[in-house]
Amino acid sequence: MDLDEGARTTRRRGAELEAAILDAAWDVLTERGYARLTIEAVAERAQTSRPVLYRRWPTRADLLRAAIEHHRAQHVTAVPDTGSLRGDVLAALRDLNRHRADVVIVLGTALSDYYAETGSSPEELRRLILGNRRTMDTILERAAARGELDPARLSPMIRTLPFTLHRHELLMTLRPASDAFLVTVVDEVFLPLATGR
């Protein structure tokens, strides 16, 4: 059975078909890297035809960006609100570690050909992955309202430090960080700098 016939047999349309394609694109990307993310490979994995993909995403760079956005949308979580700065930052790091570690690793290891092909950088895709989420801003605003810290102490570097250190650990080990690492980042690095205690 050829792919066109298979696509007709499954009769997926609209959002269902698009989700299947984007899931397939994400799987191909994480397994093979961007160099082997081809329209043909994704069509085969999604059990559809190449023209179906080309109608939606004219280039594989377009397909990659759509797959990243789709993956992000499947893993949206609320900003933690544990009642303490320490609890909120740890919860946010643990959530990132559980649900987005694979994305960070892919950004750092599998996309060198994408960056060369498009002239972009990991920062551009990082913004795409994170979207408009301002998790740390919300956490810090709540902590300031509770009197746990003085916002004037927080330089841009300190504000993002837990996530920067986490991202570094992911890229150095190519696996999710240990919980002991996350606790150390919060207790021994971030909180002393953010609160002065």
Angle between helices 122-130 and 101-109 in degrees, nearest 10: 160
* pTM score: 0.74
Residues 101 and 190 in one domain: yes
Number of domains in the chain: 2
Specify the amino acid at residue 180: A
| Domain span including residue 9 | 3-71
**What is residue 99's predicted lDDT score, i.e. its pLDDT?**
81
Please indicate, yes or no, whether residues 25 and 56 belong to a single structural domain of this protein.
Answer: yes
- CB within 8 A of 107, min separation 6: which ones? 122, 125, 126, 129
**CATH for 40:** 1.10.10.60
Do 42 and 16 share a structural domain?
yes
Q: What is the mean pLDDT, run by run of 10 residues, along the chain of 197 residues? A: 46 89 93 90 95 95 91 83 97 89 76 83 72 79 95 92 92 92 98 91
CA separation for the pair 169, 159 (Å, rounded)? 18
pLDDT of residue 41: 96
**In terms of domains, do 173 and 91 share one?**
yes
Last residue of a domain, one of 34, 50, 71: 71
Contact 170, 176 (CB under 8 A): yes
Same domain (yes/no): 184, 94: yes
- Asked if 44 and 87 sit in the same domain, the reply is no
CATH number at residue 163: 1.10.357
State the pLDDT at residue 59.
93
